Amino acid sequence: MGDLGHTDRYDLGSAVERARKRLAQDDPAEVARRSGAEPLTTESGLLLPFLARPHRVSFPSLAIVDLESGKPPSPWLENLVLLHLDRADGEPLAHRWIAFQELPDGTFYFRAFQGYSGDALVREFGNEADSLRPACLALAAEPVELGNIGFRFPVFPRVPVGLAYWLGDDEFAPRARFLFDGSAGHYLPTDALAVVGGWLTGRIIRGKPRA
């Protein structure tokens, strides 16, 4: 799925190793139920889409394969999948958007997160709505009513991420903000959600149509 920009230096470290050890002992059908993934019927494992792109996770090896390319995902995405599957507890989606600072400990990270996510998008796109739309749609996003231009990214089945973008005018500058479902903390820790927002930002910017 490409490089991560500044986020490729993010080290999930021991949290991923703990997740790997727990998942190796877990029932893949139960993990699928908790995460909203699809259990496999012909082998031990599950299918988990990332931005609508299917990935097979085999148990107990926890080998992950991108079914479109036939290759393993990047180490970053592999870590994210493991963290997500380990943390998922089956909490229903709240269907209510919350700001980053409403996530557990989100206030502490918010200023930095906003700087490399929403503010970075505004610096790149400004009022260029016609450039923002195709860049988001290329990441399997669907338009939603958020801001003046809004999108919903299906990161995982139970980890939707919203983008609200407000165009500027003579009085106000453009603004952008990533939003999360109210249940997000049940599916990824806040620091990992911050990395997801940064990764999406980088991919949206890279996908901007160039003259």
Looking at residue 12, its pLDDT comes to: 60
Same domain, 30 and 130: no
Same domain, 110 and 61: no
Looking at residue 15, its pLDDT comes to: 84
In a domain, 171, yes or no: yes
In a domain, 199, yes or no: yes
Same domain, 107 and 183: yes
Q: Which two tokens stand for residue 72?
A: 């393993």
Q: Which two tokens stand for residue 76?
A: 């970053």
Place of tokens 């991420």: 161
Helices (H) and strands (E) in the chain — how many of each?
A: 7, 9
Q: 70 is in which domain, residue-wise?
A: 5-87
Say whether pLDDT at 159 is over 70. yes
In a domain, 92, yes or no: no
Q: Which two tokens stand for residue 73?
A: 């995902």
Same domain, 112 and 192: yes
pLDDT above 90 as % of the chain: 86
Question: Residue 175's beta-bridge partner residues?
Answer: 166
Residue 180 to residue 173: CA distance in whole angstroms: 23
Looking at residue 210, its pLDDT comes to: 80
Same domain, 101 and 192: yes
Report whether 86 contacts 78 (CB < 8 A): no
Same domain, 49 and 21: yes
Split into its structural domains, the chain has a count of 2
Same domain, 42 and 123: no
**Where does a domain end: 41, 63, 87?**
87
Looking at residue 42, its pLDDT comes to: 87
pLDDT digits (tens, 9 = 90+) for 177-191: 999 999 999 999 999
**Where does a domain end: 38, 66, 87?**
87
